[in-house]
Amino acid sequence: MGPLGILMYVMALLVMGLIHYRVYRWRNPKCNGRLPPGSMGLPLIGETIQFLIPSKSIDIPPFIKTRIMKYGPIFKTSLAGLPVVVSSDPEFNYYILQQEGKLVEFWYLDSFAKLIDLRGLGRDGESTPLTSIGHIHKYMRNMVLSQIGAEALRKRILPDMEETCQKALVDWSTQESLDVKKATSSVIFDFTAKLLYGFEPEKNMSERFSYIFQGLLSFPLNIPGTVFHKCLKIYLAYDELTQIFIQNQKMGLKLMKDLMDERRAMPEKHRGDFLDQILDGMKTESFLSDDFSVLAMFAILLASFDIISSSLTLALMFLTEQPMVVKELEKEHEEILRNREQREGGLTWKEYKSMNFTMQVVNESLRMLNVGPGIMRRAIRDIHVNGYTIPEGWTIVIAQSALQLNPETYDDPLSFNPWRWKNLEPTVVAKSFIPFGGGARMCAGADFTKAFIAVFLHHLISKYSWEKVKGGEIIRSPVLGFGDGFYIKIRFIVNGLWAAWSVLSCYENIVTIFVIFDFGAKLLCGFGPEKNTSETFNFLNQDLMYFPLNIPGATFYKCLKIQKMAMKLMKDLIVMDDELYSQRIMRRAIGDIHVNGSTLYINGNISLEMSEMLYM
């Protein structure tokens, strides 16, 4: 071997040594203690590819499940080029969520991090020091809570929420079928956009925002400059996706800026909403620059609709397969209607608070939802847990799915069983049920979310039936998705009690009973009752209040028989023909009607949209 050969040989040895050292370092990162068990995977990309492999089950993502089985509840890995510890230990997770600003900081990857990173967004473009982040967070959080927290719901929001749900259901009942995720996203998006910014979005705007939200949740997709980024370019036609994402994000931010400028230019449009609060705050708070405020508005709108619609979709998927749960819900909501004091009024706060079983359904849906991979934090100091050390700078993922689908905590965790919530210990709930996170960063929209789902279910269950048309595939990639959607057909039903209640609510005393009952029946259900039907209904109304003793001879027993009769009567009104299927009902003119210069003569047929009828 000549000198050149020797040189080449030495160089090759050096390069191999260096690679070996790098690989060794990658696999054994520096740590002032013992790292949790686990594998750091391949250099640079770590275990990202395995993490992204989709699964078609509601269960804990396989990436997390298999590693918990292999390494225990806390394991290390590497995702998107970052060292990560994933934890499914309830005690540790609970502890970490209380350590905001002490041991950990709020931390999400990539674009999401940029979106919510408070540093560098001061009014003069100067860095915001870490110490003032606590103040900014508190300030913004209080502002959001004053708009959508429990007090705001009780005092202002509930009636509008109810009207929104009612209108949506009436509209949906006229459609052949609808994708629950898309339809609910659009309704909730429009509702929160109006509530927070007084803005009425154009059609399909929610889809664009939904796209941004999904993009942000999609863990490590956008880390420019990394090998992983280049890999994904090929793997996912990534540039195209990124472009659409960026365009939508720009559109969203511009929209927020326009709303802000518009409100500034027209102070008379002041409505005390979130936007007004921001504009007022700008007078005293230096961190509320235009850029920061626009980002905050955008982030809150993003946070406000997509996950609720996923929860509702999942809840409906489970309810479709669980008639027993629907029955129990029906019981609860009929009870609410039966006990309603002011018949003409809407849902009251007290009624909402009495929905115990509905809340169990909401909790059960949230338990199984687990939209994203988990709650993320970054260690700002070394953290010691169970004899291991999590080094400063590492990302910690609190895997909610592993807590909420843990068979040791929840019997048969993949079955949708709202009844389980009756017996769960408060300590279990506090530590192993964290759909809204915990500690100082706990979701500011938690009350809003629960109220929306409950109000929606109240109207759906009381007045509609539905059936699955197609879809319903679950995909965790690892963000929860619904494949090609979940399509249902919704039908307005004349539920015996609801109809009786509605009709009865038209009259107040016995003198007007005959006239108004007949009028109400015609108006609401399009039928002319026989003589004495009103008396029978009145009997039903009075006696439903009796103690529910279901034995022959008891008043309540008689009442149930009459209720059966009333239900049959209402069912007979539903003409099962094509006309009804398209949710139109034929009416007969009982006098000549003159419309737009033409005349519909007596006994002619009029077709009315069910929705129009309801809003007459």
Q: In this complex, which beta carbon is closest to ligand HEM, that of residue 375 or of residue 544?
A: 375
**Separation CA 616–CA 174 (nearest Å):** 16
Residues 6+ apart with CB under 8 A from 421: 359, 360, 363, 364
Nearest to 83 by CA among 478, 395, 399: 395
Residues 6+ apart with CB under 8 A from 550: 556, 557, 560
**Separation CA 264–CA 275 (nearest Å):** 10
CB of 478 to ligand HEM, least distance (A): 15
Site pattern 246..285 for ligand HEM (x: CB under 6 A): ----------------------------------------
Q: In this complex, which beta carbon is closest to ligand HEM, that of residue 192 or of residue 222?
A: 192
Q: In this complex, which beta carbon is closest to ligand HEM, that of residue 137 or of residue 558?
A: 137
Residue type, 567: M
Q: In this complex, which beta carbon is closest to ligand HEM, that of residue 86 or of residue 494?
A: 86
293 counts as binding ligand HEM under rule CB under 6 A: no
CB of 146 to ligand HEM, least distance (A): 12
448 counts as binding ligand HEM under rule CB under 6 A: yes
CB of 443 to ligand HEM, least distance (A): 3
CB of 20 to ligand HEM, least distance (A): 38
Q: Which stretch binds ligand HEM (CB under 6 A): 298-306, 471-479, 558-566, 603-611?
A: 298-306
Is 31 assigned a ligand-binding role in the annotation? Answer: no
**Separation CA 477–CA 173 (nearest Å):** 32
**Separation CA 483–CA 474 (nearest Å):** 6
Contact criterion met (CB below 8 Å) for 55 and 1 = no
The footprint of ligand HEM on residues 400-439 (CB under 6 A) is: 435-437
303 counts as binding ligand HEM under rule CB under 6 A: yes
Report strand pairing: 82-87 vs 395-398: parallel
**Separation CA 510–CA 307 (nearest Å):** 49
Tokens read off for 482? 């619904």
Report strand pairing: 395-398 vs 375-379: antiparallel
308 counts as binding ligand HEM under rule CB under 6 A: yes
Q: In this complex, which beta carbon is closest to ligand HEM, that of residue 30 or of residue 102?
A: 102
Q: In this complex, which beta carbon is closest to ligand HEM, that of residue 244 or of residue 443?
A: 443
The footprint of ligand HEM on residues 525-564 (CB under 6 A) is: none
Q: Residue 476: helix, strand or coil by DSSP?
A: strand
CB of 16 to ligand HEM, least distance (A): 43
In the chain, % helix, strand, coil (3-state, to 5) comes to: 55, 10, 30
Q: Where are the alpha helices (DSSP H) in 218-289?
A: 227-236, 238-265, 274-281
First to last CA, the chain: 99
Contact criterion met (CB below 8 Å) for 146 and 277 = yes
Q: In this complex, which beta carbon is closest to ligand HEM, that of residue 106 or of residue 507?
A: 106
Q: Which residue from 35, 282, 307, 460 is in contact with ligand HEM, where contact means CB under 6 A?
A: 307
Residues 6+ apart with CB under 8 A from 238: 221, 229, 232
Tokens read off for 357? 């079983």
Nearest to 285 by CA among 45, 91, 118: 118
CB of 572 to ligand HEM, least distance (A): 41
Nearest to 307 by CA among 234, 174, 383, 216: 216
**Separation CA 85–CA 76 (nearest Å):** 4
Q: Which residue from 48, 192, 417, 534 is in contact with ligand HEM, where contact means CB under 6 A?
A: 192
Contact criterion met (CB below 8 Å) for 357 and 329 = yes
311 counts as binding ligand HEM under rule CB under 6 A: yes
Q: Which stretch binds ligand HEM (CB under 6 A): 160-168, 307-315, 522-530, 545-553?
A: 307-315
443 counts as binding ligand HEM under rule CB under 6 A: yes
144 counts as binding ligand HEM under rule CB under 6 A: yes
Q: In this complex, which beta carbon is closest to ligand HEM, that of residue 435 or of residue 472?
A: 435
Nearest to 137 by CA among 151, 118, 120: 118
Q: In this complex, which beta carbon is closest to ligand HEM, that of residue 187 or of residue 516?
A: 187
Neighbours of 254 (CB within 10 A): 12
Q: Which stretch binds ligand HEM (CB under 6 A): 3-11, 30-38, 250-258, 444-452?
A: 444-452
Q: Which stretch binds ligand HEM (CB under 6 A): 141-149, 174-182, 495-503, 577-585?
A: 141-149
Q: In this complex, which beta carbon is closest to ligand HEM, that of residue 378 or of residue 441?
A: 441
Nearest to 557 by CA among 567, 546, 565: 546
24, with CB counted inside 10 A (0-12, 13-18, 19+), is exposed
Q: Which stretch binds ligand HEM (CB under 6 A): 35-43, 306-314, 316-324, 455-463?
A: 306-314
Q: In this complex, which beta carbon is closest to ligand HEM, that of residue 308 or of residue 516?
A: 308
**Separation CA 71–CA 66 (nearest Å):** 9
93 counts as binding ligand HEM under rule CB under 6 A: no
Q: Which residue from 81, 391, 413, 445 is in contact with ligand HEM, where contact means CB under 6 A?
A: 445
Q: In this complex, which beta carbon is closest to ligand HEM, that of residue 145 or of residue 580?
A: 145
Contact criterion met (CB below 8 Å) for 329 and 461 = yes
CB of 148 to ligand HEM, least distance (A): 5
Instruction: Tell me the number of residues near ligand HEM by CB under 6 A.
Output: 21
CB of 241 to ligand HEM, least distance (A): 24
Q: Which residue from 229, 343, 441, 468 is in contact with ligand HEM, where contact means CB under 6 A?
A: 441
Question: Could you give the C-alpha distances from 512 to 373, 483, 506, in angstroms and in order?
Answer: 61, 55, 10
CB of 316 to ligand HEM, least distance (A): 14
Q: Which residues are annotated as a binding site for heme?
A: 443
Q: Please give the residue ranges that form the binding site for ligand HEM (CB under 6 A).
A: 106, 141, 144, 148, 192, 300, 303-304, 307-308, 311, 375, 435-437, 441, 443-445, 448-449
Q: Which residues are annotated as a binding site?
A: 443
